[in-house]
Amino acid sequence: MSLDLASLASVRAFAETFLRAEPRLDLLILNAGIASGGRRSDGCNLVFQVNHLGHFLLTQLLLERLKRCAPSRVVVVASNAHRSGRIDFERLGRPVEGTLQNFQAYCDSKLANILFARELAGRLEGTGVTCYALHPGGCCGSDQKQYVFGGWAWAWWCVSDTQRLSLEVMTILCRCENIETSEGVPLYVTGVAQVKIMTERELLAVACEQFLGKNVQDVKNVVLQTLEGHLRSILGTLTVEQIYQDRDQFAKLVREVAAPDVGRMGIEILSFTIKDVYDKVEYLSSLGKTQTAVVQRDADIGVAEAERDAGIREAECKKEMLDVKFMSDTKVADSKRAFELQKAAFSQEVNIKTAESQLAYELQGAREQQKIRQEEIEIEVVQRRKQIDIEEKEIVRMDKELIATVRRPAEAEAFRMQQIAEGDKVKQVMIAQAEAERIRKIGEAEAAVIEAIGKADAEKMKLKAEALQQYGEAAKMALVLDALPQIASKVAAPLAKVEEIVILSGDGSKVTTELSRLLAEIPASVHAITGVDLAKIPLIQKATGAQA
């Protein structure tokens, strides 16, 4: 039959199919499991749903069939990994990512298996259906056990089963109430025992077999029952006097009798002492009454004798005190007289010494004054010498200061001016050289320009001459006509701003003569400027001839 524990719908479908097809269900083993996955549409992560929720729902759907087929059984395959599990209901719906989160989800699901199995076993009690949870692999393997104390050993997680047993000293308080002695006297006895588990390998193995899985209180209860049993049996063989007067022997006897029995459980009795012994019939108090009376009598006699001896001793002490007092008074008087005599002698000696010391003081004072004056003179001499040294050093200092403030700056200024003059000199030389070079370059350039212009003019004149020779008088006339506006402009330039010229001539005037001369000079000027000889032009010849 198909069953997918990752889908709750698949679980319900499987249960319906199984209940229709199979009339009996004697054993249900919840064995499926995964260690990693994402999140299911049902709301929980895949690991928790497959390992627990699917099994839980399947068990609930088949539970009535299990009860009907009782005796039957439910087996939940869990894991020791449940020790690291924590049920966090808010985290169950979150997806898991990574190795650590997947492992934690696996541990949580196995813890849920354990809790489910325990709760189901309790609810099914009396129905004939039993429920078990197991760790796979933990039920098989070697029976060899390893006992380690005071060290360490390897243990495979989820595979090896490890348990601890405390080796600390345990204190046990034993109480036996209303236990009759050999004489029938009921006693109440309290003892204190110090015990511990022995560490020899054979005895440790015995202790582990007896107490492994139990806590310290369980171990104490077992030892307490054993010690109390032996304590009761020993009390029944002894008298009150033996128990009360020799408690150490009684405790030793209990240790010797109980040690073999607790030793067979791997436990050693370190010590056992009787803490208290009493009764409620006043037997112990009766035993002490006679002794108490004797002690009281001896105490009264002792008090009386002590008072007598004290009175005698007090009288003797008073007599001795008076004798001592009289002797003391006599010695005090003698001491006082000797003191006065000694005091007078001391006074006389003091006066003498005072006078001597006064004279010696005055003499010493005069000597000291003389020494003081001499030292003052020496001090004045030293001060004068110091003053002279200071003045000499001041002169040297002022000389150095003069050198530093006047001479050195003057030398520095002179050196600076010298350097500036040399710099100016070099500068002027460089400037002159640069100017000469500039003038030379300009001259060379101007010469080149003049040379080029001259060559161009020469070429021009050559071309003009060739043209004139080629075209004859017509070319010369064209040149004259082209040049006449320029000639007229040059001639009229000085008179450009003259609005009117009036020539007045009278008898003996030279204006006409000067004008004729000017017209006669025009052809020569044109010939000089253009190279054209106007005198050869008929029109000009007529004009100049008429003027002449």
Query: Residues with catalytic annotation?
Result: 106
Do residues 55 and 9 make contact, with C-beta atoms less than 8 angstroms apart? no
| The pair of three-digit structure tokens given for residue 251, joined into one six-digit string | 């405790």
Angular region, 30: left φ>0, alpha ψ -120 to 50, beta rest:
beta
Are 176 and 232 in contact by the 8 Å Cβ rule? The answer is yes
- The rounded distance, in Å, linking the Cα atoms of 139 and 133 is 12
12 neighbors 60 (Cβ within 8 angstroms): no
Residues 170 and 269: their CA atoms lie apart, in Å, by: 10
Residues near 236 by beta carbon (within 8 Å), at least 6 away in sequence: 179, 180, 181, 182
Contact call for residues 174 and 192 (beta carbons, < 8 A): yes
Instruction: Give the dihedral of Cα atoms 473, 478, 479, 481; nearest 10 deg.
Output: 120
In angstroms, the CA 362 to CA 229 distance is 108
What are the DSSP calls for 244-303, one per residue? HH-HHHHHHHHHHHHHHHHHTTTEEEEEEEEEEEE-SSSHHHHHHHHHHHHHHHHHHHHH
